[in-house]
Amino acid sequence: MIDTIKRISGVNPRKCMKCGKCTASCPAFERMQFHPHQFVDMVENGRIHELMNSEGIDFCLSCFACVERCPRNVEPAKVIEAVRLAVVRQQGGAHLTPDEIPALLDDELPQQAITAAFRKYRK
């Protein structure tokens, strides 16, 4: 599973020096159960199922602030994206139908996230 995440994201979590600049830059900090630096650390330590089941992984806006500012080129946003993909690729997981969307909408939810979620969970 670790290898899958590494392969999808192309990220080597061992390059992380645990400075926390990603988490310091994250605009979606409050909404996420785990924060960018934790994603990198937990992938390295194999705690991927915890990440997949955690709250708020879809609140990552993919704004890439963490990628832009990481001093070690670790690219945490790509790890988060890879974890989301891992969720999508699960067999027999819950998928979305267009009818379910209106109930899930929330005024603060960015348009980008709705589109992205629909694109991924539609299958």
Partner 1 sequence: MQRVGVFVCWCGSNIAATVDVEKVAEVLAKEPGVVFSTNYQYMCSQAGQEMIQESIAKYNLTGVVICSCSPRMHENTFRKTCEKAGLNPYMVEIANIREQCSWIHKDKETATEKAVILGRAAIAKVHLNAPLTSGTSPVKKRALVIGGGIAGIQTALDIADAGFDVDIVEKEPTIGGKMTQIDKTFPTLDCAACILTPKMVDAAQNEKIHIYSYSEVSSVKGFVGNFKVTIKKKARYVDETKCTGCGLCTEKCPQKKVPNAFNLGLDNRRAIYIPFAQAVPKVATIDADYCTMLKSGKCGVCSKVCTAGAIDYTQKDAFIEQEYGAIVVATGFNPIKLDQYDEFAYSQSPDVVTSLEFERLMNAAGPTGGTLLRPSDGQHPHTIVFVQCVGSRCDDSKGKPYCSKICCMYTAKHAMLCREKYPDTDVYVFYIDVRTPGKNFDEFYRRAVEEYGVHYVKGMVGKVVPENGKLKVQASDLIGNQQLHIDADMVVLAAAIEPDKSARPLATMLTASMDTNDFFTEAHPKLRPVESPTAGIFLSGACQGPKDIPETVAQASAAAAKVIGLLNKDHLVCNPCTAQPDELMCNGCSSCEKVCPYGAITYVDKEFRGPNRTTLLRRVAQVNPAVCQGCGACTVACPSGAMDLKGFSNKQIMAEVDAICR
CB–CB of 13/6 below 8 Å? yes
Q: Which residues of 38-47 are buried (b: 16+ CB within 10 A; e: fewer)?
A: bbbbbbbeeb
Among 7, 15, 89, 119, interactor with partner 1 by CB under 8 A:
15
Question: Is position 69 an interface residue for partner 1 (rule: CB under 8 A)?
Answer: yes
Among 11, 25, 42, 57, interactor with partner 1 by CB under 8 A:
25
Residue 72 burial (10 A CB sphere; 0-12, 13-18, 19+): middle
Question: Is position 21 an interface residue for partner 1 (rule: CB under 8 A)?
Answer: yes
Return the closest-CA partner of residue 37 out of 65, 1, 4: 65
Task: Give the count of residues interacting with partner 1 (CB under 8 A).
Answer: 21
CB nearer partner 1, residue 20 or residue 93: 20
Report in angstroms the alpha-carbon separations of 43 from 20, 53, 82. 15, 13, 10
Among 31, 47, 72, 120, interactor with partner 1 by CB under 8 A:
72
Question: Is position 29 an interface residue for partner 1 (rule: CB under 8 A)?
Answer: yes
Q: Which residues bind partner 1 (CB under 8 A)?
A: 15, 17-26, 29-30, 35, 37, 65, 69-73
